[in-house]
Amino acid sequence: MSTVTELRTFSFGGGWQSTAALVLAAQERIDFRTFLFANVGSDSENPATLRYLEQYAAPYAAAHGLDLIELHREAKGTTETICQRILSSNGSRQTIPVFLTNGKPGKRNCTYDFKILVTGAWLKAHGASADHRATVAMGISLDEIGRANPNKAMPYERLAYPLLDLKIRRADCPRIIRSAGLPVPPKSSCDFCPMRKIPEWQAMHQQDPVRFERACHIEDTINRFLAGKGKPPVYLTRTGRPLRQLFKAGTQMSLFDTDDEGCDNGWCWT
């Protein structure tokens, strides 16, 4: 009787933890040879993350016999991005966890639709099922152990946390990455992710105004739709103010303005 080979993949986010995991896999310190990167779109991902993937991560993986596979969400025969979804719907499908006027984050579909389902489609196409679950590793480090939750696994997968097994913290990742001769990657996230901290928004405003304006346009588009429905506005920060007004001359930022939110499941920011 033939046996089914266990499918083992690592969810590659493009940041510190998953790049460190790529190095650990090359060093055979973790048992994962396939890394899946669900790209939410060149108009949505941090451009520096995509450049790092092309210039460093992908060549390194290939040189060490690892498969680093880039995936995209397909909808109606074409690739869909988060930015496209929001703009093409004129803001009615906001998708991202924008902050409500009370400072609480709203519902989000971005991780589920553009990460979990995209990766899941690949896993199922390669034999994963409820009877033959794939092992999917997440790049959650020891200092973020509260984000680890095996119970959140989809029916066709079981979640694993190899960085926890090795007691690796986020602060350890740059050393691991540099040990392989690689530069440390930038922080990975969507350009307009509301989980970004205020100092990060400010740095984008000062250093990359084109990206900052793109995020402002996303917020404006969502709010034009809400205004047309007679609904209150939402924001990309918990400040209760439009993003494009935050860093005008004379604007004071309080400690409250520096949020410390983050995705809680390991699919993003790793």
Sorted by where each starts, the structural domains of the chain and their CATH numbers stand as: 8-257 (3.40.50)
pLDDT digits (tens, 9 = 90+) for 132-155: 999 999 999 999 999 999 999 999
Q: What is the CA radius of gyration of the chain?
A: 19
pLDDT > 70 fraction of the chain, expressed in percent and rounded: 92
pLDDT in the model for residue 263: 60
Torsion (CA) 103, 104, 108, 111 in degrees, nearest 10 = 90
Residue by residue, DSSP assigns 135-149 as EEE----GGGGGG--
Is residue 182 within 8 A of residue 14, CB to CB? The reply is: no
In eight-state DSSP terms, residue 170 is G
Q: Judging by DSSP bridges, how do beta strands 134-137 and 67-71 pair with one another?
A: unpaired
| Helix/strand/coil for 63 | helix
Q: How confident is the model at residue 189 (pLDDT cuts 50, 70, 90)?
A: confident
Q: How far is 239 from 254, CA to CA, in rounded Å?
A: 9
Q: Residue 89 pairs with which residues in a beta bridge?
A: none
Query: In sequence order, what E strands does the chain have?
Result: 8-11, 34-38, 67-71, 73-75, 78-80, 134-137, 157-160
Cα 55–chain centre separation: 19
Asked whether residue 54 carries a pLDDT value surpassing 90, the answer given is yes
Q: Which residue has the tokens 């074409």?
A: 78
Is residue 95 within 8 A of residue 139, CB to CB? The reply is: no
| Higher-confidence position of 77 and 266 | 77
Q: What is the mean pLDDT of residues 11-22?
A: 97
Average pLDDT, the chain: 91
User: Which phi and psi (to 5°) does residue 78 adopt?
Assistant: -140, 160
Q: How far is 172 from 79, CA to CA, in rounded Å?
A: 36
- 91, two tokens: 């803001």
Q: How far is 72 from 30, CA to CA, in rounded Å?
A: 26
Q: How far is 171 from 173, CA to CA, in rounded Å?
A: 6
pLDDT in the model for residue 264: 59
Asked whether residue 268 carries a pLDDT value surpassing 50, the answer given is yes
pLDDT digits (tens, 9 = 90+) for 99-114: 998 888 888 899 999 9
- pTM for the full model? 0.92
